[in-house]
Amino acid sequence: MMIGHFALGVATKKFAPMIPIWILLLAPQFMDVVFVPFVLIGMESFEFGPYGHLSLNIQYSHSLVGALAIAAVAYWIGNRFWKSSHGGIVLASLSFSHWMLDVLMHRPDMAVLPGNLGNLPLLGFGLWDFEFQALATEVAMALIAVILYFHWAWKEQKDARWFVGPAVITLFFAVLIASEIGNFSAV
């Protein structure tokens, strides 16, 4: 489930109007972007388990230290392209928010140190095991994000087409939510 990650990006638009919405949508996904090449080179992996549940080996890209390193790169990107520490702080915060949300959702599979050095206990509260509650949480996050985005666009955009961006974002979330609901019926 990625709805909550996207929702945080959308909800942030009011605080970072200079950053394009597509960057705000992508920033909370930076950890998953890093995960893909790690899978391709065999450092991390995933498997579909029974009932569509994922079994994840994410001990580098989703470790606490890995998340902090990725957030530091996001901070650099924000400073470089938006010429302000504010842009860097927004992107770094969104990037790190991925780790915080994943700790709530994942079963214990998130390491503190990359590669689980020191064999510390893995983190994760396992909200995924309660599928309806997990989906309800993410849908609530999406609704709040859409409301905040509509409010920002209505107040800040002087163009007569102020509603186009929020409408596209609403459709985007509707498709994601429908997809997740479809996953329930497939189980």
The pair of three-digit structure tokens given for residue 52, joined into one six-digit string: 């569509």
Task: Identify the band that residue 173 occupies on the pLDDT scale cut at 50, 70 and 90.
Answer: very high
What is the extent of the structural domain holding 126? 3-186
- How many domains does the chain contain in total? 1
Instruction: Tell whether pTM > 0.85.
Output: yes
Give pLDDT, residue 41. Answer: 96
- Whether the Cβ atoms of residue 31 and residue 66 lie closer than 8 Å to each other: yes
Residue 160 per-residue DSSP state = T
What's the full length of the chain, in residues? Answer: 187
**Where on the phi/psi map is residue 50: left (φ > 0), alpha (ψ -120 to 50), or beta?**
beta
Q: Which pLDDT tens digit goes with each residue over 129-168?
A: 898 999 999 999 999 999 999 999 998 877 878 889 899 9
Which amino acid is it at 8?
L
Task: Identify the band that residue 1 occupies on the pLDDT scale cut at 50, 70 and 90.
Answer: low
Q: Which pLDDT tens digit goes with each residue over 64-89?
A: 999 999 999 999 999 999 877 799 99
Give pLDDT, residue 144. Answer: 97
